[in-house]
Amino acid sequence: MWTHLLEEIQNGNTKALARAISLIENEHSGYDEFLQKLPSKTVPVIGITGPPGAGKSTLVDGLIGEMIKQQKKVAVLCIDPSSPFNLGALLGDRIRMSSWYNHPNVFIRSLATRGSLGGLHPKIIEITDTLKVYPVNYIIIETVGVGQSEIEIAGLADTTVVVVVPEAGDEIQTMKAGLMEIADVFVVNKSDRPDADLFVKNLRSMVAPSAINNKPEIAIVKTIASDKKGLEELLEKIQLHQEKGLTSDRKLFLLAEKAYHLIQNKRMKDINKKELKEEIGKSINNPSFNLYRFILSK
């Protein structure tokens, strides 16, 4: 079955790709062997991250349009918050970016975080590598944009785009160093709002020192995604970053991050949240119950 699926995916069969992703998500028998058979293929991975409300989905929608204008094929993974009860995605791809849902050159898939603390899907690496064997020119990953996902996406993407809005105001002065480190391109979306120019000026002054540390200049692009403004320039900056290629250190960082998460997931494979909940439910009424002793018994 898996061999047939791989062949179909390489031939551009969308249904086969969707089925393979579902089987990988659910750790269907044989998925490990399938992943080991994946041929090495380089496809640019673009990570889109930033705080909720920054307009990431609208930006991705417009970015897809620019890629289609260039007659490119694109695959999009939307990482959504998951329901705490059934672990399914709270948002769906039919609602977001619905204009591209049936386009022959666009593949969109919503993935739930499934309780992953970092905000990314626990099988995001495997799914991304599977997408690379599909005939596609770009892979876009849009994160939930909360907590550690902003940093984790740097361990997966070749180009990381951080989306912010002018309303961040003084917060730009206290922006966490990690976010400054991972950004390859900053997008100031909703740039028609008051104080946008001042915000961009302050942002430029913050990223300028990066040149001292031998880090390539971080591009800053003003956009109004809802009006499709600035998106052509954004794609140009992304393509320019990719043309420069990854440094040896960056390549090693990406591979080491991916290897770390894969090893972590493999070692946690036998830990089942549902079973943990049931076991804790049986023990919690015991006055001597201690969560740390409980963990050590596992």
List the CATH number of the domain containing 192. Answer: 3.40.50.300
Beta-ladder partners of 159:
46
Residues 110 and 2 in one domain: no
Residues 209 and 284 in one domain: no
Residue written as tokens 């666009």? Answer: 106
Q: Distance of CA 170 to CAs 75, 199, 208, 288, Å?
A: 36, 9, 18, 48
- Amino acid sitting at position 252: L
The arithmetic mean of pLDDT across residues 176-183, rounded, is: 66
Residues 80 and 227 in one domain: yes
Residues 3 and 75 in one domain: no
DSSP run (H or E) holding 78? strand 74-80
pLDDT of residue 239: 95
Residues 13 and 115 in one domain: no
Cα–Cα distance between 138 and 48 in angstroms, integer? 13
Give tens-digit pLDDT for 92-144: 444 556 688 889 999 999 887 654 444 567 788 899 999 999 999 999 999 86
Give tens-digit pLDDT for 140-165: 999 866 554 455 676 788 899 999 89
Q: How many Cα atoms occupy the beta-carbon half-sphere of 285 within 13 Å? A: 3
Asked whether residue 170 carries a pLDDT value surpassing 90, the answer given is: no
pLDDT of residue 141: 93
As given in the structure block, the two tokens for residue 100 are 């591209």
Sheet containing 138-142, strands listed edge to edge, beginning at the edge strand earlier in sequence: 106-112, 74-80, 138-142, 45-49, 159-164, 185-188, 219-222
Residues 214 and 95 in one domain: yes
Residues 5 and 46 in one domain: no
**Average pLDDT across the chain, whole number:** 82
Residues 54 and 111 in one domain: yes
pLDDT of residue 93: 41
Which DSSP string corresponds to 104-155?
TTEEEEEEE-TT-TTSS-TTHHHHHHHHHTSS-SEEEEE---STTHHHHGGG
Specify whether the CB–CB gap between 120 and 153 falls below 8 A: yes
pLDDT of residue 89: 42
Cα–Cα distance between 44 and 184 in angstroms, integer? 14
Q: Distance of CA 184 to CAs 76, 130, 138, Å?
A: 19, 24, 16
Residues 100 and 201 in one domain: yes
pLDDT of residue 45: 94
Residues 201 and 285 in one domain: no
Give tens-digit pLDDT for 68-102: 999 999 999 988 764 433 444 444 444 556 688 88
Question: How many residues in total does the chain contain?
Answer: 298
Residues 298 and 252 in one domain: no
Residues 147 and 95 in one domain: yes
| pLDDT band with cut points at 50, 70 and 90 for residue 179 | low
- Give me the domain span that covers residue 32: 1-39
Give me the number of domains the chain comprises. 3
Give tens-digit pLDDT for 203-252: 888 777 655 455 667 899 999 999 999 999 999 999 999 988 766 677 78
